[in-house]
Amino acid sequence: MTTIPDVTRPGPEDTDGHPGSAPDVSLEADALVHAPGPPPGASRPRTALRAAVPPLVLGSALIGLWYVISYVILEPHRRFLLQPPHQVLDNGFLDWDAYSRILRALWNSTQVALIGLGIAISIGFFLATIMSQAKMVERAVFPFAVTLQAIPILAIVPMIGFWFGYGTTARVIVCIIISLFPIIMNTLFGLQSAERGMHDLFTLHHANRLTRLRKLMFPAALPAVFAGLRISAGLSVIGAIVGDFFFGQGEAGIGQLLRRYASQLDGEELLTSVIMSSALGVVVFWTFGWIQKLVIGKWHETEVLG
């Protein structure tokens, strides 16, 4: 008696999110797996539209509210507190002198954030890996990792400047401190997430420690690792800005600009810098989501937001 292999094939109706849901980017990965399914592009424009409309509506409403505050709530002599959107656009984004200065500073901060994140990833992976291999190391490191997380970054920033100077090194160290904890914890959690049955399988077939790490624990850790990376990448950007805010030496980053514009009451430039900093955070978050999708999207269940 032959059996017809059955396979669950989520069609477009399964992935067709209701309005307001985030775009289901795992749809594409599914389509790769289910080659014989319906053409993957069939429902995407509609899905994309449904995903795009709600944030556009909310965004327009917020800009409307902004105008109301600038023109109705604030009296003319206090309008400098919140200049209307078009003026921010004119004097911030469309004034190339100001805008290029902001972009340069942002690029400096981005470099600092990426260097800090890179070092944090190396340290975090290394620590998590040895913690996963020896319970004793885990017990020894764990309380310090938690303490690291508990340190208020503003309290320790002056000390970092005091010890490491007020240049790039100090800025990078702030990024490392602020972004290390999620990497350690998520990687460790991920390494420990392989099921007991899978470990039994490797034990039964006499896999050594390295093989187990390479073929079981590392791949099993990837989803958690990426979750940690996205948190840490955002934190690292914050670290770069906070560090820059306090450390004046070397090339100015966006933190220095924020400080200068605030003290000079340059509302338009200040808002432009804030918006650009947020945009950087979003881009970083989105980039890591994209890498995650590339690396594990094909086999991992959870959909990637962003």
Partner 1 sequence: MKGETDLVMTSNTNGALSFDGIGMIFPDGTEALQEITFSIDRGEFITVVGPSGCGKSTLLRIASGLLEPTAGSVEVDRDRLGYVFQDATLLPWRTVRQNVELLAELHGFDTAERKRLSTAAIDLVGLQGFENHYPKSLSGGMKMRTSLARTLTLKPPVFLFDEPFGAVDEITREHLNEETQRLFQSEGFAGLFITHSISEAVFMSTKVLVMSNRPGRIVASFDVPFGYPRQPQLRFDPEFALLSGEVSLALRGST
Q: Which residues bind partner 1 (CB under 8 A)?
A: 1-3, 5-9, 30, 33-34, 195, 197-198, 200-207, 211, 215-216, 219-220, 222, 296, 298-301
Nearer to partner 1, 10 or 167 (CB): 10
Nearer to partner 1, 162 or 299 (CB): 299
Nearer to partner 1, 11 or 59 (CB): 11
Instruction: Tabulate helix, strand, coil % of the chain (nearest 5).
Output: 75, 0, 25
Report how far residue 183's alpha carbon sits from residue 281's, in angstroms, rounded to the nearest whole number: 17
Instruction: Give the tokens for residue 267.
Output: 């509302």
Nearer to partner 1, 9 or 86 (CB): 9
Least distance in angstroms from the C-beta of 34 to partner 1: 6
Nearer to partner 1, 77 or 205 (CB): 205
Report how far residue 167's alpha carbon sits from residue 78's, in angstroms, rounded to the nearest whole number: 37
Closest CA to 271 of 68, 103, 91: 91
Least distance in angstroms from the C-beta of 87 to partner 1: 51
Least distance in angstroms from the C-beta of 32 to partner 1: 9
Least distance in angstroms from the C-beta of 287 to partner 1: 22
Report helix, strand or coil for 94. Answer: coil
Least distance in angstroms from the C-beta of 295 to partner 1: 10
Least distance in angstroms from the C-beta of 28 to partner 1: 14
Inter-residue contact 227 to 186 (CB < 8 Å): yes
Closest CA to 291 of 232, 235, 239, 223: 223
Torsion angle, CA of 52/56/57/58, rounded to 10 degrees? Answer: 110
Inter-residue contact 216 to 202 (CB < 8 Å): yes
Residue with tokens 């965004």: 59
Least distance in angstroms from the C-beta of 212 to partner 1: 10
Nearer to partner 1, 3 or 263 (CB): 3
Closest CA to 242 of 149, 130, 154, 133: 154
Residue with tokens 């032959």: 2
Nearer to partner 1, 9 or 78 (CB): 9
